[in-house]
Structure 1
């Protein structure tokens, strides 16, 4: 089954470290505030998810959301969450660790789009 969001092994290691420090986490793909369009990591339930947010799935056991307007831009791609050295300008939990989460992407194939559409219609 194709997923709308995936995580690299390095990012998964950082998420495990952050979970040990902060407990359950969640992610929201930023729509341009603070650090551009970056995946932001927060303690679970400390970021208010609204009716305009789309649940893309989970990475490393953490719910991952994106704003509906951003989803329109990204709906044809799989988001791949990675971690790289450097500090972002946002409020994401990884910043004090000297790293930042980064979104990479790849375009879904026609078969993957059809599978996603069928799965989402059935839900």
Structure 2
């Protein structure tokens, strides 16, 4: 099963109000959800939203935290690359990923990133 990344008060993944609203809309329609940051291929690198349990997680996946009460995962290899940044999940007009639940809504989830401050990075290093 996947491994949780300790975060304490420093959050590795957050959602904008627009993303929170889209999550609630999708939860009302589909029930419990999960996110996995796609690493490329068909949909590029995008946050993919699935019904909870639809994507089988394994040893190569890590849990970054939750957004809107929904768990958010990525592969360990991606995490090694992104570990110094906070992922900010937004919802913007456009077509979502082919396999992501928001596809037919006219909105898509989008990942932006911001570097952790020196203080946040030190706290994360101590916690990890």
Superposition TM-score, scaled by structure 2 size: 0.90
Aligned to 1:49: 57
> Following the alignment from structure 2 to structure 1, what is the Cα–Cα distance between the partners of residues 79 and 41?
15
Shift of 1:94: 0.3
> Following the alignment from structure 1 to structure 2, what is the Cα–Cα distance between the partners of residues 119 and 112?
10
Q: How does 1:1-123 map to 2 (within 5 A)?
A: 1-120=9-128
SS of match in other structure, 1:34: helix
Aligned residues: 120
Shift of 1:72: 1.3
Shift of 1:34: 1.5
Shift of 1:45: 0.5
Q: Return 5+ residue gaps in structure 2 as ranges.
A: 1-8
Q: Return 5+ residue gaps in structure 1 as ranges.
A: none
Contact 1:40 1:90 in 2 (8 A): no
Q: CA RMSD of the aligned region, Å?
A: 0.9
Contact 2:97 2:108 in 1 (8 A): no
Superposition TM-score, scaled by structure 1 size: 0.94
Contact 2:39 2:46 in 1 (8 A): yes
